[in-house]
Structure 1
Amino acid sequence: MNASRSPKASTYSRTKSGCSACKLRKKKCDERKPRCESCERNYLLCTWPSAVPDPGNLRRHSRTQKGHLDVKIHPAAKDSEVSEHYSHNLQPRTNTKGSSAEQLCWNSKNAPKRASLSTGLNLLKPSEFFLMTLSRSASRTLFQHYESRTADLLCASQGLANPFLSFLIPFAATNELLLQCILALSGVHFLNHSNGAPSFDITTTTWSHYALAIRGLKHGITRIAYGEQEILPLLVATLVLCFVESTRGNVSSIAQHLRAARTFLLSWLQQRQAELDVELRGFIIEFYLYIAILSNTQLGSEWTGLIIKDCSWLYGGGTADCKSWGMLFGCANDLFGIIPLVSAFAHRSGGEDEKPALEPFESIGTYQSLLTQVQSWRAPEARDPAVVVCGRIYQQCLLLLLHASFYRDELSSVTLNNLLDQGVQEFVVLLESLPVASPIATTICWPFAIAGSCARSESHRMIIRQRLKMMYERFSMENITAVTRVLEALWASDHCGPLHITTVMRQRNELFIIQ
């Protein structure tokens, strides 16, 4: 029987010109382009190497090439294994010559005038896969929804000034991974906006793009070992996926994407600093810092320490020259830099049922220092009034978090209660002066959680409850609903203050990141 099988085995010829995904998975490829049958069936990103390198060179390359990962190639990594591929020694590659994308990328009223950045991004004409994907009705609907609605709800910058349009769309036109991320983000937002009655086609297409994005991210990490993958697409993809998870309400997954993004960002900046375009650098840094800073209050003291280090060197360095800077921070750039310091103070002061790590005299000194920094902040002149109000809202909520952390052992004291009541009242006054439809309002979910946790009067709670409802109707982001649920649970308990937010989340088995 063995003899009868051996001739058949010896005549089998494995393809040497198949796609990268089939080679890595050791599967036979039918070589259909732009996506082979196997990749389409398994929802994989189908990529084609320009040449087939010698396997011995690949092994030597993965061991010796400076800045690359020394990793093993796993044919089918599980979702839980993605984080094991991340490293601080990633080397980005760029191949460059930016030029305008074809008209298909710019068919919305928000189309940017400048089609490319001097960043080394390969912004050539849209890829064949881009055109093929948008030839499908459901995917085209999601792309148009992203252009016309989703992108303008992601940040305070609108139209031509919005980098989620001017940068991400031309990038997605030439990068399949980022295209899948954008369509997944648009799809999740579309499903939220459809009031629970989306078409079956839109629903299945959305989750198909989401699955492709996750698999594509794993595939891209694996390809780094072969020297076939740039870091920038992976960096941007992980940041966009943070917004995807936040929009769908499954924000507990943000932590993994965020840690991956930090790895990619630090490597990318360290190795490309001198060559980076100011606009691209500013967009990526603010995108990352916004998510990371607002996440640190739920991720613990270890993460807070990393964010403090990141802020110390990512702030400045030419970011102020970036035209899009403030798309998420608004005018509260300096206040965002203080948030990790206040969060660290809260952790060191001790949360519920924890002993403080600070001595009394040290705690007083730190409290007074941070209090002075927050109170001395002033909004820059000549800014949009709504942006100024949003900055003052962040200032007020930082004071609330600071007071609650310092007086944690006196939760029933008159002093603390007065400070919290006054702070919430000021928050409500500012909130009522901020139009719901203001673009900057998309960034105030974190202040809602902090101020809402301190609200003791039913009148304040009602105002906050109604405003959150109006915000969801405007933005259709599920993280708003998640904050509402936690606040309702907090108000129904005996707890008060931001230090109890995580406690209530655990009790509800609903841990998530507020941003």
Structure 2
Amino acid sequence: MTPISSAKLRTRTGCLQCRKRRKKCDEARPQCAGCSRNRLQCVWPSDKQRKDGRTRRTSFVEELASNGSEDGLSQIDSPTLRTGLRPPVLMPSPFQLEEHCYLYRYFGSVILPQMVRRNSLARYTDQSYMLRLALEFPPLMGVLISIAGMKLASFNGGSIYCAVQSYIQTLNGLRRALSQMNDNVSNDALLATVITLSVFESSRLDTTLKIAPHVMASGVMLKKRRARWVNCPQASAVFDRICVESFVYHASLMMLFDPSLDSLSQPDLRIVLSKYFSDPVHGTQQDHTEAVGSQPILHTSYEFFLLIADATKLARLSRPSTEAEIHTWKHLEQQLLQWTQVMQKSDDISADLYILVLWVLLFKSHPYLPPDEIDWEIGACVTRSIALLPLVDRSHYFTSSLVWPLAILGSVAILPCERIAVQNFMSVLIASSLGGQAAWILRRLEDIWSSHPESGLITFLQRRSLGLQALLDGHNEIAGLE
């Protein structure tokens, strides 16, 4: 007579091998009959693991909650989020899973407030307009979910999968939306989607940066809009200001790594930008010191970021300068001298770092100095910049704003002590931002550092200019000299 088995039709508490094979389990520990019969190693779930792993996938939201992640559930301070994961509003299709809802609300409660400078005007603390747009425009919802998923990637790998899938759905939805619009690209939700795609690309952990198409699309959309800061709701004025500052921020800093972003130097675009930055609530742009503390994203006047764009474009040249370019260089030198005086009035260490790195770019394109003297001047800037790094308070700045001067500084670092200082600072940025842009740029610097030109025509000091040229060209120029 066959003994009665205690096996269950659903192995909710059976061993993991039986669950995986979808077989009944007699739950006899340490080795169940099924595993003994098939000569398998019997593995049992831990006490924290869900009993039934076959019929219901454990979402990363539940895993974050069970792990007590400090950067997960505990940071969401909205009362509606503390009472449960069911949304008080209807999530748009196809973002209706529990994890989509959680990531959307995590973005609104934790990430979005961090995207605005802490000492900006109080009106920039209300970002509800963008969150409402996401509920009405699925592509925007998808990219907000993607940003949140990348942010939580260190706590659960499932959030990366959700982020990438949402990103793909965003791109598909964006293509459909553009094909259905009759050349009307002034839609707020569409602009917000493209702007936040730039933010997502800066935070990606799974691939290299692909930020240029989104930044360029943002510029095209901004040119076709009108600046709204007169006789309009405050939400519209706030939205426009954040979008245009985000565009200038990404375009000026990221053109260092992508020549296609040199379009920021276009005169027609600059005319449009001047209208967006004429909002009197921030003071006149001629009074640079007045505008420093009130803006939501840029930590100084937008004109300083245009100077960054112009200096970057000029430094990218690897041939002798034309007469027009020499005239441009002299104009930029005068601007930088003025900004040097302005920045000396502040106690901002990062401002000093920016000024020194901008001098590196201008010395690189100096039309008169011989190569050895150019590299000596660059070396002097490097020495002073390295001394400033321990004094920089990283908590006061966006990661991208610190990565930009570090990338230039690293490309012209030729001494081991200089490279170690840059590498250590970048490693801290990588840890604080969970990789993303900082990790990608550090790998690029390491490629430049690993190249050793052997040509007798190149002096030791001239390797500084060659390293910067390699960074600006987007590939390892030094390697071609071996």
TM-score calculated relative to the size of structure 2: 0.66
Structure 2 counterparts to residues 403-482 of structure 1, below 5 A:
403-406=363-366, 410-411=370-371, 413=372, 415-482=373-440
Larger radius of gyration: 2
Instruction: Establish whether residue 314 from structure 1 lines up as the match of residue 273 from structure 2.
Output: yes
Instruction: Tell me which moved more, 270-279 or 440-449.
Output: 270-279
Structure with more contact order per residue of length (Cα contacts < 8 Å, sep ≥ 6): 1
Alpha-carbon distance between aligned partners in 1 of 2:133 and 2:395, rounded to the nearest angstrom: 29
After TM superposition, list the pairs within 5 Å mapping 1:26-41 onto structure 2: none
- Unaligned stretches of 5+ residues in structure 1: 1-106, 112-124, 510-515
2:340 equivalent to 1:375? yes
Question: How has the CA–CA distance of structure 1 residues 337 and 203 changed in structure 2, closer, same or farther, with 3 Å as cutoff?
Answer: closer
**Distance change >3 Å, CA 503–CA 292, structure 1 → 2:** closer
Q: Structure 1 pair 473/394, CA: closer, same or farther in 2 (3 Å)?
A: same
**Contact 1:248–1:478 at 8 Å: present in 2 too?**
yes
Q: Distance in 1 between matches of 2:281 and 2:99?
A: 40
Q: 1:244 aligns with which of 200, 204, 208?
A: 200
Distance 1:432 1:152, change over 3 A: farther
One-letter code aligned to 2:343: R
- Which residue of the other structure, out of 148, 151, 156, is the alignment partner of 2:117? 156
Describe the shift of the 1:203–1:293 C-alpha distance in structure 2 as closer, same or farther (beyond 3 A).
closer
Equivalent position amino acid for 1:269 in 2: R
Structure-2 separation of matches of 1:226 and 1:484: 40
* Partner of residue 475 from structure 2, selected from 481, 484, 505: 505
Match of 1:342 among 311, 321, 327: 311
Structure 1 residue matching 2:309: 3-state secondary structure: helix
User: For the Cα contact (< 8 Å) 1:428–1:460, is it kept in 2?
Assistant: yes
Contact 2:248–2:302 under 8 Å retained in 1: no
Instruction: Output one character per residue of 1:175-220: Cα deviation in whole Å (capped at 9) or x when no partner.
Output: 32211110011112322x34xx613xx3432222111110111111
**1:187 matched residue in structure 2:** 149
Per-residue CA shift, 1:470-490, capped at 9, x if unaligned? Answer: 111111241101110111122
| 2: CA distance, partners of 1:154 / 1:469 | 21
Report the aligned-residue RMSD: 3.7
- Kept in 2: contact 1:110–1:165 (CA 8 A): no
2:138 counterpart of 1:176: yes
Q: 1:216 aligns with which of 169, 173, 194?
A: 173
Deviation at 1:164, TM superposition (A): 8.6
CA deviation map 1:63-116 (0-9, x unaligned):
xxxxxxxxxxxxxxxxxxxxxxxxxxxxxxxxxxxxxxxxxxxx95479xxxxx
CA distance in 2, matches of 1:361, 1:184: 45
**Residue 395, structure 1, aligned to residue 355, structure 2:** yes
Could you say what secondary structure the match of 2:464 adopts? coil
Contact 1:245 1:253 in 2 (8 A): yes
Pairwise mapping of residues 161-310 of structure 1 onto structure 2 (< 5 A)? 165-191=127-153, 193-194=154-155, 198-199=157-158, 202-225=159-182, 231-248=187-204, 250=207, 252-269=209-226, 275=232, 277-300=236-259, 303-304=262-263, 306-307=265-266, 309-310=268-269
The yes-or-no answer on 1:142 pairing with 2:103 is: yes
Q: 1:491 aligns with which of 418, 431, 449?
A: 449
Deviation string 1:413-470 (CA, Å, 9 cap, x unpaired) is 1x32332222122222322111233344552111111111122221121111011111
Relative to structure 1, is the Cα distance of residues 167 and 397 closer, same or farther in structure 2, using a 3 angstrom cutoff? farther
Q: 1:317 and 1:359 mapped to 2: Cα distance?
A: 30
SS at match of 1:505: coil
Residues of 2 paired with 1:161 and 1:109: CA distance? 20
Structure 1 CA distance for aligned equivalents of residues 104 and 388 of structure 2: 36
Of the three residues 325, 330, 333, the one matched with 1:365 is 330
Change (3 A) 1:499 1:309: farther
Q: Does structure 2 retain, via aligned residues, the 8 Å contact 1:187–1:203? A: yes
* CA distance in 2: counterparts of 1:170 and 1:376, whole angstroms: 43
Query: Comparing 402-411 with 150-159, which one deviates more in the overlay?
Result: 150-159
Per-residue deviation, 1:295: 2.8
Structure 1 match to 2:28: none
The alpha carbon displacement at 1:361 in A equals 6.1
In structure 1, what is the Cα distance between the partners aligned to 2:123 and 2:248? 19
CA offsets 1:341-362 (integer angstroms, 9 cap, x no match): 2234324xx22xx343347964
Whether contact under 8 Å (2:195, 2:215) holds in the other structure is yes
Is residue 282–residue 295 contact of structure 2 (8 Å, CA) maintained in 1? no
**For the residues of structure 2 that align with 1:210 and 1:181, how far apart are their CA atoms?**
6
Whole-Å separation in 1 of the counterparts to 2:358 and 2:267: 16
How far off its partner does 1:340 sit?
A: 2.1
Q: Which moved more, 1:169-178 or 1:253-262?
A: 169-178
CA distance in 2, matches of 1:435, 1:473: 15
Q: After superposition, where does 1:86-125 map in structure 2 within 5 Å? A: 108-109=76-77
User: Percent of aligned pairs with the same residue?
Assistant: 14
Q: d(CA) in 1 for partners of 2:239 and 2:221?
A: 15
| Among 87, 90, 99, the residue aligned to 1:128 | 90
In structure 2, relative to structure 1, the CA distance for the partners of 1:505 and 1:357 (3 Å cut) is same
* Structure-1 separation of matches of 2:227 and 2:329: 38
> Does the 8 Å contact 2:470/2:476 carry over to 1?
no
Question: Contact conserved, 2:448 with 2:478, CA < 8 A, in 1?
Answer: no
Q: Does 1:331 align with 2:331?
A: no
